[in-house]
């Protein structure tokens, strides 16, 4: 097994889980870690929200020992708030603090944060410096290829991040304008890797063991990060771990095993967020788990009406019986 070092944090060089807002919550991260994710980054938290003592924002910084090594992620556009937020984040004892320079969503970009920072390199550098000076915890950044096809500047931004104290940089190979459409440009990840001396984490279009291996080989990145490719498939991290341990990657689970994994995931959701909120969010997770199985479209409608764990258990039992009798 090879390893990558971010500051003083040692991470297996397999695959890590991306920080996906409203998706990669504690339950999602715990499932990914159980199957072998080498590293996780939490959902992004607002610097201003933390500074103004918003309880829900602070909850995003929770780190359990099971999730380590783990980073918490902050977003903002004002260095003074970034520095204060980092000091607050320290209380939760994350292994790494990550700055979001890649979120393309309008509500983040309109405030000058997220991928809007790709258009303000000087401000980006100030944010990184403010964070790095405020803590001894390694500070990393997550960026995109650029703002649009005319402004591909990930190399410039990565260099600025390094110069201002960043311990690593994650590059998603799409522009802000692309959102999550089209194809990720792995050439820009490779270009960043060749331009900085800090570790580079590659992200975009990794949904299999083969994709993960190809990204390592093609870009030379130090770690691969997986986001949407893990939707309803936490075992993907186990398959990748198997490969890098020299084993034959475990096969895709059979339907009954998938349903058991889904049930555990949703149980963790309910445990963390309560049955009402957890079951509401579980509907989307369930849709991902059943994708591709016979009758998935009608099952999505059924899962869309589950309100309590007992509803879920009845539906799982029904699916299992129908498969067994077919």
Q: Note down pLDDT in tens along the chain; length 326 residues.
A: 999 999 999 999 999 999 999 899 999 999 999 999 999 999 999 999 999 988 889 889 999 999 999 999 999 999 999 999 999 999 999 999 999 999 999 999 999 999 999 999 999 999 999 999 999 999 999 999 999 999 999 999 999 999 999 999 999 999 999 999 999 999 999 999 999 999 999 999 999 999 999 999 999 999 999 999 999 999 999 999 999 999 999 999 999 999 999 999 999 999 999 999 999 999 999 999 988 887 778 888 888 888 999 999 999 998 888 765 44
Measured CA to CA, the distance from residue 264 to residue 262 in angstroms comes to 5
E strands, 121-206, are 139-146, 168-175, 200-203
SS3 293: coil
Handedness of CA 178, 179, 183, 184 (dihedral sign): positive
How confident is the model over 145-195, as pLDDT tens digits? Answer: 999 999 999 999 999 999 999 999 999 999 999 999 999 999 999 999 999
What is the b/e burial string over 131-156, where b = at least 16 CB atoms within 10 angstroms of the residue's CB? bbebbebbbbbbbbbbbeeeebbbbb
Query: Distance between CA 26 and CA 109 in Å, rounded?
Result: 25
175: β partners: 146
* Cα atoms in the Cβ-side hemisphere of radius 13 Å centred on 183: 4
The whole-model pTM stands at 0.95
The DSSP string of 113-145 is: -GGGGGG-HHHHHHHHHHHHHH-SS-EEEEEEE
Q: Domains of the chain by range and CATH?
A: 3-244 (3.20.20.70), 255-325 (1.10.1200.80)
Q: 178, exposed or middle or buried, with CB in 10 Å at 0-12, 13-18, 19+?
A: buried
**Active-site positions?**
103
**Calpha distance 27→281 (Å, rounded):** 11
């Amino acid at each position: 097994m090879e390893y990558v070092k971010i500051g003083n944090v040692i991470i297996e060089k397999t695959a890590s889980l991306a920080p996906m807002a409203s998706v990669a919550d504690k339950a999602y991260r715990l499932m990914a870690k159980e199957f072998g994710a080498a590293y996780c980054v939490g959902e992004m938290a607002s610097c201003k929200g933390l500074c103004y003592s918003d309880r829900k924002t602070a909850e995003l910084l929770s780190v359990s020992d099971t999730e380590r090594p783990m980073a918490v992620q902050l977003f903002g556009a004002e260095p003074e708030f970034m520095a204060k937020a980092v000091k607050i984040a320290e209380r939760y004892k994350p292994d790494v603090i990550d700055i979001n320079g890649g979120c393309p969503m309008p509500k983040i970009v309109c405030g000058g944060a997220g991928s809007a920072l790709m258009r303000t390199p000087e401000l980006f550098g100030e944010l990184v410096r403010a964070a790095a000076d405020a803590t001894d915890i390694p500070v990393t950044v997550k960026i995109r290829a650029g703002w649009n096809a005319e402004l591909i500047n990930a190399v410039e931004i990565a260099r600025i991040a390094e110069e201002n104290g960043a311990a690593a940089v994650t590059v998603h190979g799409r522009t802000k304008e692309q959102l999550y459409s089209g194809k990720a440009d792995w050439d820009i990840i490779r270009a960043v890797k060749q331009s900085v001396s800090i570790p580079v984490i590659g992200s975009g279009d990794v949904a299999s063991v083969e994709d993960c291996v190809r990204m390592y080989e093609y870009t030379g990145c130090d770690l691969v990060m997986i986001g949407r490719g893990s939707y309803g498939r936490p075992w993907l991290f186990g398959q990748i771990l198997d490969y890098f341990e020299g084993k034959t990657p475990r096969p895709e689970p059979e339907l009954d095993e998938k349903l058991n994994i889904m049930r555990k995931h949703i149980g963790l959701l309910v445990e963390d967020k309560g049955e009402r909120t957890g079951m509401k969010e579980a509907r989307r997770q369930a849709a991902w788990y059943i994708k591709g199985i016979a009758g998935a479209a009608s099952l999505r409608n059924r899962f869309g009406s589950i309100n309590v764990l007992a509803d879920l258990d009845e539906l799982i039992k029904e699916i299992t019986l129908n498969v067994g009798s077919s």
